[in-house]
Chain A
Amino acid sequence: MTKRRFIALVTFLAGLYYFLEFVVPPTVPWRTLRGEVVSVSDTTLTLLVDGAERQVTLLPNLIAYRERPNGAPERVEIQQLRPGDRASVGPSTYLSDYITSVNNFFIVLGSMAWGMGLISLAMVHSGNIRRRRPEWYGSVLFFIAVAGGMVAGLGYGRESGWLKEANDVVFNYLLRPMSSTVFSLLAFHMATASYRAFRIKSGEAALMMASAFVVMLGQIPIGMWLTHGLPSFLQLPVMAQWVLYIANSAAVRGMWFGMMVGAIAVGLRFWLSLERGAFFDREL
Chain B
Amino acid sequence: MAEWLSKLQTIDRRWIYLSIWIACALPFVVNIKLPVYVSPETRRLYDFIEQCPPDKVVMVDSAWDAGSQGENWGQVEVVFEHLFRKRIPFIVTAVEVTPLGPQFADKVIEKLVREKFPDRKYGVDWVNLGYTKGGWQAMQQIAKDIRQQYRKDSRGYSLDDAEKLPLMQRVRNIEDIYLIYSVTYSPLEDWIPFVHGMYGTPIAFGCAGIQSTTYYRYLLSRQLVGMLVGVRGAAEYDALLHPDLRDRNSMGTKLIVPQAFGHLVIIVAVVLGNVGYFAARRRRS
Contacts and interface: CB of A to CB of B under 8 A. Distances in A.
Interface in A181-219: 182-184, 187-188, 190-192, 194-196, 198-200, 209, 213, 216-217, 219
Contacts of B199: 68, 70, 72
B70 A180 contact: yes
A180 B71 CA distance: 11
Interface string B201-218: 000000001001110110
Contacts of B156: 157
Contacts of A213: 267
Contacts of B138: 103, 107
A110 B134 contact: yes
B67 A183 contact: yes
Interface stretch (A36-44, A117-125, A241-249): A241-249
Contacts of B274: 198-200, 209
A90 interface: no
B133 A107 contact: yes
Contacts of B173: 74
Nearest to B134: A107
B103 A156 contact: yes
Majority-rule SS of A interface residues: helix
Interface size class of A (residues with CB under 8 A): 35 or more
Nearest to A185: B17
Interface stretch (A3-11, A171-179, A261-269): A171-179
Nearest to A205: B274
B158 to A, nearest CB: 14
B105 interface: no
23 contacts: A72-B199, A99-B140, A100-B141, A100-B144, A103-B134, A107-B138, A110-B134, A156-B103, A157-B156, A187-B262, A190-B266, A191-B16, A191-B20, A195-B13, A195-B266, A196-B13, A200-B274, A213-B267, A217-B263, A220-B256, A220-B260, A221-B35, A241-B40
The 4 closest A-B pairs by CB, nearest first: A179-B66, A107-B134, A221-B34, A220-B260
Interface of A: 68, 70-72, 74-75, 99-100, 103-104, 106-107, 110-111, 114, 156-157, 171, 175-180, 182-184, 187-188, 190-192, 194-196, 198-200, 209, 213, 216-217, 219-225, 235, 237, 241, 244-245, 248-249, 252-253, 256
Given A103-B137, A222-B263, 4 more contacts: A72-B199, A103-B134, A199-B273, A219-B259
